[in-house]
Structure 1
Amino acid sequence: MDIEGFVRRSIKEEDEETVQKNLVKKILEFKDLDNDKAEKMASAVIEEVKNTLTIDSYPDEFMRDLINYTQSSVSMGDIGVGSRGAGDFFVHRKIAEIVSSAKTSSYINPSAQDDGGVVKSTVDSKDVYITTAVDGIHSRLSEYPFLGGFHVARATLRDVCVMGSNPIAMLSDLHLADDGDVGKLFDFTAGVCAVSELVDVPLVAGSTLRVGGDMVLGDRLVSAVGAVGISEYAPTARKRAESGDVILLTEGSGGGTISTTAIYHGMFDVVQETMDISFIKASEAIFNAGLLPEVHAMTDVTNGGLRGDAHEISQTTGLGLSFSEEKIREMVNPKVLDMLEKLEIDPLGVSVDSLMIIAPEDLATRVKNVVSSAGVKINEIGVVDNSGISKLIKEDGREEELKPLFREAAYTKIKKIVGDIEPEDFDEMKDKVQRAAIESIKKKDKVVKAIQEK
């Protein structure tokens, strides 16, 4: 419960006395306080919010612009941010445009829509590629912090591995709401450290704060884990894919998304299938065999499932990808696939956490051999071509364009209710988001200039 947000919304439509009364009621729902203390809390929040609202009449335009944010009038939920579909991809491209507008340079930045970012440095006359990545805990795993920590740690390490880097360190950021049990912090950290110990990558730094400080009541956990990796080879970025390449896929057992699906449908035995490090073992096998310089691209099948990853690769490279539906299904853990089919969830539209490798045909056999030797199942599932689109070859031979939905496949009951149909005003929403991004770039430029001239 965001009590500051509640006041900001309510004070525009109701008198202060009503807002005070309603806020006290909200506070007492979460806090074991006497009425007098709740009244004082409510009064303090209302006074603070009222003070912030005076910025709109502040005479200095620069300060008004600096403190206020550019409003798009489009909500996260409406456009589907975080739902790994068309809306989410669009917003991420706008974020990448803001990053690219900064007068800094990197070897790979968010404009590539890749799994991690890379900077190139020189040490003792040798080129070194440093990869960084960060992933957030699955929102529905707040009540299951060990699983949340375990899977987000795996996710960020995967993002480093698929860029062809050897992970060397992790860091975590924990935000637990005011009423959260401190034990959640410990279980989350233990989950991260379980992965750390399994793959011998230390957790070296972090931060722990409350979600919204005193302003957010409840026990929601919002956390992230970042990773750093290094390599002497150029990254295996998506943009390196070439027509004629073979597409390989390791068996995927899922991570945070599959665990969430299993838990909230009461199919708890499937959670155990997700507790492995086969993805990282496969990446290490390729790395240790010295094959990375010859591999063109690697990615993890996560954001929006294979539909989303195929779309992003096509968008980045202008190439096409052709997949065999039958072979893809063979590379989904049988228990996970059985659950998805029972729940009528599209296996191509959710994160199954497979490693997808794009490599020249003459290298594919060697990659399969070294990955298989590491105890990880792998198979060829498709090829890269010049068609410019991604397509799925159905089991009956029909071809179907492989496109991301507006949201990833609905894997919980609440997601099925929300739906994955593109809203009629999607183009209008994109225009509003585009304008807001442009205004944010202008604001950044204005502030940088002001500080430089100070």
Structure 2
Amino acid sequence: MDIEGFARDKIQKNNHDVVESILADRIMEYKEINHDNARLMARAVLEEVTNTLKIHESEDEFLKEIIGFNEAQVGMGEMGVGSRGAGDFFVHRKIAEIVASTQTGALINPTAQDDGGVVKSTIKGEDVYITTAVDGIHSRLSEYPFLGGFHVARASLRDVCVMGSDPVAIISDLHLADDGDVGKLFDFTAGVAAVSELVNVPIVAGSTLRVGGDMVLGDRLVSAVGSIGVSPYPPTARKRAEAGDIILLTEGSGGGTITTTAIYHGLFDVVWETMDINFIQASEAIMHAGLLPEVHAMTDVTNGGLRGDAHEIATTTGLGMEFSHEKIRQMINPKVLDMLDSLNIDPLGVSVDSLMIIAPEDVARKVEKVISQSGVRVSEIGEVDNTGVPRMIKDDGGVEELKPLFREAAYTKIKKLVGDTTPEDFELMKEKVEKAAQESIHKKNKVVKAIRDN
């Protein structure tokens, strides 16, 4: 429970005594303290929040602008942020625009909507490409910290590998709410460390804090794991795909999403199917065979499933892609596929954590061979063309254009209740989000100018 947020909302609608009493009761639901101490804590929170509201009385208009934020008046859930669909992709493009407005010159920055970012450096006359990526723990794995750490570490390393980089370091940022058991910190770190040990990439730094400090009660765990990789070759970014390229896909067993699906449906044996490092093995096989410079692009089938990835690649490159529905299904772990089918979850709309490789046909055949020799299943599933449209050839011969839904395929009961239908006012929501993003860029520019001028 966010007691600061609660106080901030209620204090503007009720008098202090009423809010203090309600807040004290809420605090006692989480803390084993008596009513008098709960009232003291509630009173302190209200005093702090009241002090922050005094900024509106300040004559420093610029400071008021910095302290406040540009409200889009659109909620995260309304927009589908984090749900890996059309709304989420739109918001991420706005974030990328804010990053791009700095004009700091990364080789691959968030505007490419790629898996990782890349900067180019020259050391002793040799070009070196440095890739960084960061992923957050799956929100529904807060109660399962080892699995959360394991899968977020894998996800971060995957994002480095698909850019053609050799992972060299892992970093971890861990936040646990005030009432969380310290053991969660250790189990999460052990999950990250298990992946670190399996792929021989060291954990080199990290941070551990409380979620919201004293202001958030409960035991929610939120965290992120980042990875750093290096390569002597240019990145295998999506924009390098070319018409005529063959599309390969490795077997996908899923990660955090599939684990969450299995746990919350009581299908616990499926969890074991996700516990592997096949993705990294496949990436390393390509690197060690010296084929990386000849591969045009690589990506992991995660955000919004293959529907989302195909759409993003087509948007980035202007190219089209033709996929075989039957061949895609054959490259999903059989137990995982059975679970998705039995629960009526679209396998093309969720993260199955496959490696997708896009390369000229002769290169694709070599890649297929070395990945198979590494012990990972891989197969051709389609081809890149000039149509500008990603589409799938269905089992009955029909053709379906691959478009991301407003949210990824619903893989828990609560997600099914929320639904994936695009809101009727989606265009209006996008306009509001666009305006808020542009105002944030404007604020950033003003602050940078003010600091430089001083």
Give the TM-score of the pair, scaled to structure 2.
1.00
CA distance in 1, matches of 2:247, 2:233: 21
TM-superposition CA deviations, 1:138-197 (whole Å, max 9, x none): 000000000000000000000000000000000000000000000000000000000000
Show the counterpart of 2:306: 306
CA distance in 2, matches of 1:58, 1:419: 44
Q: CA deviation at 1:323?
A: 0.4
Show the counterpart of 2:196: 196
> Is 1:368 the counterpart of 2:368 in the alignment?
yes
RMSD, matched Cα: 0.5
CA distance in 1, matches of 2:53, 2:338: 54
Show the counterpart of 1:422: 422
Determine helix, strand or coil for the equivalent of 1:223: strand
Percent of pairs identical after alignment?
73
Q: Which amino acid aligns with 2:189?
A: T
Q: CA deviation at 1:15?
A: 1.6
Q: Which amino acid aligns with 1:143?
A: E
CA distance in 2, matches of 1:16, 1:34: 20
Show the counterpart of 2:344: 344
Give the TM-score of the pair, scaled to structure 1.
1.00
Q: CA deviation at 1:256?
A: 0.2
Q: CA deviation at 1:54?
A: 1.0
Q: Unmatched 5+ residue regions in structure 1?
A: none
CA distance in 1, matches of 2:17, 2:319: 61
Q: Which amino acid aligns with 1:138?
A: H
Show the counterpart of 1:395: 395
Show the counterpart of 1:101: 101
Residues 72-91 of structure 1: pairs in structure 2 closer than 5 A: 72-91=72-91
Show the counterpart of 2:24: 24
Show the counterpart of 2:145: 145
Q: CA deviation at 1:272?
A: 0.2
Residues 264-343 of structure 1: pairs in structure 2 closer than 5 A: 264-343=264-343
Show the counterpart of 1:178: 178
Q: CA deviation at 1:341?
A: 0.4
Residues 5-84 of structure 1: pairs in structure 2 closer than 5 A: 5-84=5-84
Determine helix, strand or coil for the equivalent of 2:242: coil
TM-superposition CA deviations, 1:319-354 (whole Å, max 9, x none): 001100000000000000000000000000000000
Show the counterpart of 1:437: 437
CA distance in 2, matches of 1:387, 1:287: 31
Q: CA deviation at 1:364?
A: 1.1
Q: Unmatched 5+ residue regions in structure 2?
A: none
CA distance in 2, matches of 1:103, 1:27: 46
Comparing 155-164 and 17-26, the one that deviates more = 17-26
Q: CA deviation at 1:11?
A: 1.1
Aligned residues: 454
Determine helix, strand or coil for the equivalent of 1:129: strand
CA distance in 2, matches of 1:66, 1:403: 38
Q: Which amino acid aligns with 1:388?
A: G
Show the counterpart of 1:404: 404
Determine helix, strand or coil for the equivalent of 2:375: coil
Show the counterpart of 2:2: 2
Residues 244-263 of structure 1: pairs in structure 2 closer than 5 A: 244-263=244-263
Q: CA deviation at 1:12?
A: 1.5
Q: Which amino acid aligns with 2:55?
A: I
Please identify runs of 4+ aligned residues in structure 1 that moved more than 4 A.
none
Determine helix, strand or coil for the equivalent of 1:38: helix
Determine helix, strand or coil for the equivalent of 1:118: strand
Show the counterpart of 2:166: 166
